[in-house]
Amino acid sequence: MDHRADLTELERRLLDRYQHGLPLSATPYADMAAALDVPEAEVLAALDRMQQLGVLSRVGPVFRTHAVGVSTLAAMAVPEARLDEVAAIVTSFAAVNHNYEREHRFNLWFVATAASDAELAEVLDKIEQLTDIKVMPLPMLEDYHIDLGFTLQWT
């Protein structure tokens, strides 16, 4: 669902400003608030509301692959009628940092991270159990940097 019209000015400013460069400090939300000239409580409330709306699923760092723990790209062939249901299950795992739909037989893709190979396998197994759909792990063979930030369109 498109929630662009539902977002407040502060929420839009947060999304525009912090796709990159979250403050690396003991008080990142206070730092964000100071930069945006609003109280920290308003930043926290805005982030929480955007999570409730489903506009964003998490706020946090993205580490270089395998610098901390392990990760894999994964794909699933999900029946179209179950896509929203399965995506919600996948997203419910803290180990999943994003997922997206693709126009392909394997139409739901996601990245999962964990502290160890065993924990990662456990997450993928649980997703399979809950969805009754096979997860195809696609571990990285070669490192490429892809900038996931983009210019947001508000109108």
62: confidence class by pLDDT, cuts 50, 70, 90: low
Q: Flag whether pLDDT at 3 surpasses 70.
A: no
Taking Cα atoms as reference points, which of 92, 94, 99 lies closest to residue 74?
99
- Cα(95)–Cα(98) distance, rounded to whole angstroms? 9
Q: How many CA atoms lie within 13 A of 152 on its CB side?
A: 17
- Which of 147, 89, 137 minimizes the C-alpha distance to 113? 137
pLDDT one-digit tens code per residue, 119-149: 999 999 999 999 999 999 998 877 766 666 6
Give the full edge-to-edge strand order of the sheet including 70-76: 96-101, 108-114, 70-76, 136-138
Residues pairing with 110 in the sheet: 74, 99
User: What backbone torsions phi and psi does residue 103 show, to the nearest 5 degrees?
Assistant: -85, 85
- pLDDT(1) > 60: no
What does the pLDDT look like over 112-122, one tens digit per residue? Answer: 999 999 999 99
pLDDT higher than 60, residue 109:
yes
Backbone angles phi, psi at 100, to 5 degrees: -155, 155
Residue where the block lists tokens 């580490």: 63
Tokens found for residue 96? 């999943």
pTM metric for this prediction: 0.59
65 backbone dihedrals φ, ψ, rounded to 5°: -50, 130
